[in-house]
Amino acid sequence: MSRPRNVSERRAAWWYRLHGYRILGTNVWIGGYELDVVARRGRSLVFCEVKSKSGPRFGDPLEMVTAEKIRRIRRAADAWLQANKGHGGCRVTFDVVVERAGRLQRIARAF
């Protein structure tokens, strides 16, 4: 497992750990795309996209999760599941964690 590259990704992974999830991967490159955080708790498997911005310019970080980004995350998740067959029976969800002004917000089952 690689380490999260930025503070927001580290904080998101830590949030999942504190809530009983096991971190299966961070910054995982698979199928030509990246998964920021892959976490599991029981039969739930979460693929989490993390977005942050340091300033108020260019809109909200949630706006950076476009239809194209969602397509890429889903493709990467499919490739990850193919490579990690032991998690095939899990309920898969996609979360987004955004950081605004130092505060994290988790959008569970975002797409």
- How much is the average pLDDT of 23-27? 97
Domains contained in the chain, number: 1
Q: Is residue 85 part of a domain?
A: yes
Q: Is residue 74 part of a domain?
A: yes
- What CATH number corresponds to the domain at position 102? 3.40.1350.10
Residues in the chain: 111
User: What band does 1 get if pLDDT is binned at 50, 70 and 90?
Assistant: low
- How much is the average pLDDT of 78-94? 95
For 49-66, the pLDDT digits (tens) are 999 876 667 788 898 899
- Residue 3 pLDDT > 60: no
Q: Is residue 12 part of a domain?
A: yes
- Residue pair 37/17 in contact (Cβ under 8 Å)? The answer is no
- From the list 8, 68, 67, 21, the residue with the least C-alpha distance to 47 is 21
Q: Is residue 16 part of a domain?
A: yes
Q: Is residue 1 part of a domain?
A: no
Q: Is residue 11 part of a domain?
A: yes
Helix (H, G, I), strand (E, B) or coil at 32: coil
- Residue pair 17/64 in contact (Cβ under 8 Å)? The answer is no
The pLDDT value recorded for residue 72 is 97
Q: Is residue 2 part of a domain?
A: no
Q: Which domain holds residue 86?
A: 7-107
